[in-house]
Amino acid sequence: MTVWDSLIGQEKPLQEFKDAAVAAAQTPAGPEMTHAWLVTGPPGSGRSVAARSFAAALVCPDAGCGECVDCQDALAGRHPDIEMVTPEGVSYKTADARELVTKASIAPLRAKWHILVVEDADRLTETANNVLLKAIEEPSSSIVWILCTPSAEDVLPTVRSRCRLVRLTTPETQAIADYLATVEGLDEATAVFAAQAAQGHVGRARALALDAGVRERRNKVLRFPSELGDLGSCLRAAQDLAETAKADAVAATESQDQKELADLAQAWGEGAEGRGVRGGARGLKSAQKELEDRQKSRRNRMERDELDRALLDLLGYYRDVIRIQVEGSEGAEGSTTELINGEHRVEIEHAARTSTPGDTLGRIEAIERARQALIANVAPQLALEALAIELRSPHLRANELHNSELAAT
């Protein structure tokens, strides 16, 4: 085992990281090492995994052996010289960036380097970008910044120009299936199913392979198109999908929310008796309010991420439909056409027979519009209602249809 085992299908970036880790262990560090890195790649390509692996290699005296206590602690997320930060809500505020810069002034405790990984750095506001820029421009000798974003254009050019760029790409389905089989020890059928269904998203593939709840939610999403009959059924299906996403977000954050609130109360000495307690009550209340706002923002983001995943599953469904419409259900020499959602082949073939490629393209566009609407902060249920109506009648925009049908009733 090495620290790189979870980085899937990324030969070139892997070599760059390995060379840098070896150079970083030399005194002085070789030219392959530098203080600021920008790791880019599409969602699910493994940006965070790459950053964590690289950070582990930097704290390891042996450039990432995978066996020593530094490697083990780094991979388990408990190395004192590695900080991985994620935005709590939809963006990093200036205060978050200042806190990071303060952390960056601390010398490493155990290793040669102190590594700060900024996940989703595309969520840095412009001011937050500028706060980080100053720290990146004048790094202390032992600090390493690793910023992760979908693309290099997601940070300010001034920040980008000071970072060394490492580009990850979407891993091949086969590479993901191999990883699930060899590293996660899954049987081949499950590994192949999950890799195909995840469409290049490694984290999604893992979740689909390991979590029955995730598979069930995905099946529910894929049943969505067949539930769209009259206008009423469209609205019900949309409401159902929106509520499921909300419930999932609550379920995923609930225990963490409660623990944070309990920790906060304890820090403020709730339940303690005697002097100062009454005076502290007001401060506790406002700290609770602030925490609850942050938790709400985190839940909201999770709900939107969950819905986006559902929409990506639907996109995969219609990609399958159009594939059958264009190529037929059998490929050359009578082999069946390979689908993303092979286990839903019967419905997909039915959908392909009963619609035209033009319909399917209209539906794919409707899904993309719904994704954009969610990014633009449209209320999920409204975006999904419009989507449901447009999936049913792909040549009409929801607002026109909605009005004409409402007028008819």
**Which residues of the shown chain bind Zn ion in the complex (CB under 5 A)?**
60, 62, 65, 68, 71
DSSP result, 170-191: PPPHHHHHHHHHHTS---HHHH
CA 285 to mean position of chain CA atoms: 33
CB of 60 to Zn ion, least distance (A): 3
Nearer to Zn ion, 3 or 36 (CB): 3
- Phi–psi pair at 172, nearest 5 degrees: -65, 150
Nearer to Zn ion, 60 or 121 (CB): 60
- HSE-CB for 165 with a 13 A CA cutoff: 15
Nearer to Zn ion, 58 or 202 (CB): 58
Nearer to Zn ion, 49 or 339 (CB): 49
CB of 144 to Zn ion, least distance (A): 16
Find tokens 């042996």 and name the residue. Answer: 62
CB of 26 to Zn ion, least distance (A): 16
CB of 373 to Zn ion, least distance (A): 46
CB of 53 to Zn ion, least distance (A): 11
* 5: its two tokens: 């085992």
Nearer to Zn ion, 63 or 104 (CB): 63
Nearer to Zn ion, 68 or 291 (CB): 68
Convert 365-385 to b/e letters by CB count within 10 Å (16 or more is b): ebbebbbebbeeeeebbebbb
- CA angle at 192 for the pair 313 and 391, rounded to the nearest 5°: 15
* Closest alpha carbon to 53 in 202, 273, 198, 158: 202
* 337: its two tokens: 């056409």
Residues belonging to the chain: 409
CB of 299 to Zn ion, least distance (A): 37
